[in-house]
Amino acid sequence: MRIRRTELVAPRRLELTQADIAPASGEALFEVAATGICGTDLAIYDGHYAVPLPITLGHEFAGTVVEVGQGVPGDLLGRRVVGEINITCLAAGGVTPCAACRRGLASHCTARTVLGIDRAHGAFASHALLPARCLHVLPGRIALEDAVFVEPLAAAFQTFELSPVSPGEVVVVLGAGRLGVLVCAVAAYLGARVVAVSRSEAKRARALAMGAEAAVAPDAALAAVRDRTEGLGADIVVEATGSPDGLAQALDLVRPRGTIAAKTTCGLPSRGLDLTRLVVGEVSLVGSRCGPFGRAIAALASGAVRVGDLIEGRFALDELAAAMAAARTRAKVLVRP
């Protein structure tokens, strides 16, 4: 099939191209309905997060399967889908799994490519390909535009897969950007008391709408946390500022033996982590990335997590540069081919 896609050929340089693609054995070709822009896209676009170029970015997508390769059940045709972005040796049909896959670390497969990030063309395109094993069929209740949030929502869930939270615990979310507000929603969904921290009044309002019990400016964060924790500090502080320098405030706000959950992938080195404070406080800093699609789909399907209000712009495929610019200040910007 002849498709259109917008490739990043060098940092900040995009080209709309055409290509003929067809599903290989085990693959499905899907028509893209909408694709979201996230912080990782911006970091790669700016050249801070280095990946092999050229590549078509775009890894938060929803679409419809229009063609399947050999060995893929035909009933996938016409189904509305989202997709896990790690194309692992197992997902790609390999017969000898790598050391990571053998240990159950599939999302860290040493042979993987990553849709829209690492050597696999992504979804800022009319169509794209994924192994059928990566796809999740959407329940009818979820609109395709809302389904774009499954991938980042799964990443928000992954925060608490690796740093479990108990109901009633206090979770601080630093940064109420596009990922931060999803983390607020998931933490509230899991029963936490959520305090969002943002300089922006608009973002604070958004965090409250997504389930935070309080949303404060950075200079009011310490008091808000102490009030809720007998002065001890938050059980979990999620660093979702998108800046390399959010760690210092996270250390101020976390309790002894608490966790800082890192979500920022800005590609820039973090300056001035006070390792001594981390050691003395026995604090854990836990990175987390791609997460459980099933939980994200269930949360959206149940209506407990609502994302539609976060969509603040829709752009065409040939407007990707403008879409990237808009994504720097807006919550979720969609590209619709």
Q: Please state the closest distance from residue 88 (CB atom) to its own copies, in A.
A: 12
Q: Does 223 bind its own copies (CB under 8 A)?
A: no
Give the contacts of 94 (CB within 8 A, at least 6 positions apart).
Answer: 111
Structural contact between residues 186 and 299, judged by C-beta atoms closer than 8 angstroms: yes
Q: Is 265 in the site for its own copies (CB under 8 A)?
A: yes
Query: Residues 134 to 173: which contact its own copies by CB under 8 A?
Result: 162
The count of residues interacting with its own copies (CB under 8 A) is 46
Of 11 and 231, the one with the shorter C-beta distance to its own copies is: 231
Stretch that binds its own copies, among 27-35, 146-154, 179-187, 264-272 (CB under 8 A): 264-272
Per CB under 8 A, 86 contacts its own copies: no
Least Å from the CB of residue 267 to its own copies: 5
Q: What are the C-alpha distances in Å from 162 to residues 51, 156, 206? A: 26, 11, 25
How many residues are there in the chain? Answer: 337
For residue 304, what are the CA distances in angstroms to 189, 190, 327? 7, 11, 26
Question: Is 262 in contact with 239 (CB distance < 8 Å)?
Answer: yes
The SS3 call for residue 298 is helix
**222 scored as a contact of its own copies (CB under 8 A):** no
Tell me which residues in 101-140 interact with its own copies (CB under 8 A). Answer: 103, 105, 107-108, 110
Between 97 and 313, name the residue whose CB sits nearer to its own copies.
97
DSSP states of 19-48:
EE----TTEEEEEEEEEE--HHHHHHHHTS
Choice from 287, 298, 306, 314 touching its own copies (CB under 8 A): 287
268 lies in the binding site for its own copies (CB under 8 A): yes
Q: How far is CA 36 from CA 131, 229, 285, 310, 327, in A?
A: 20, 36, 28, 11, 9
Determine, following the binding rule CB under 8 A, whether residue 256 of this chain makes contact with its own copies.
yes
Instruction: Pick the closer one to its own copies by CB: 26 or 246.
Output: 246
User: Quick check: 292 and 262 in contact, CB under 8 A?
Assistant: no
State whether residue 147 is helix, strand or coil: helix
Region from 17-25, 198-206, 259-267, 324-332 binding its own copies, contact rule CB under 8 A: 259-267
282 contributes a contact to its own copies by CB under 8 A: yes
Binding positions for its own copies, rule: CB under 8 A: 43, 49, 99-100, 103, 105, 107-108, 110, 162, 229-232, 244, 247, 255-257, 262-276, 278-289
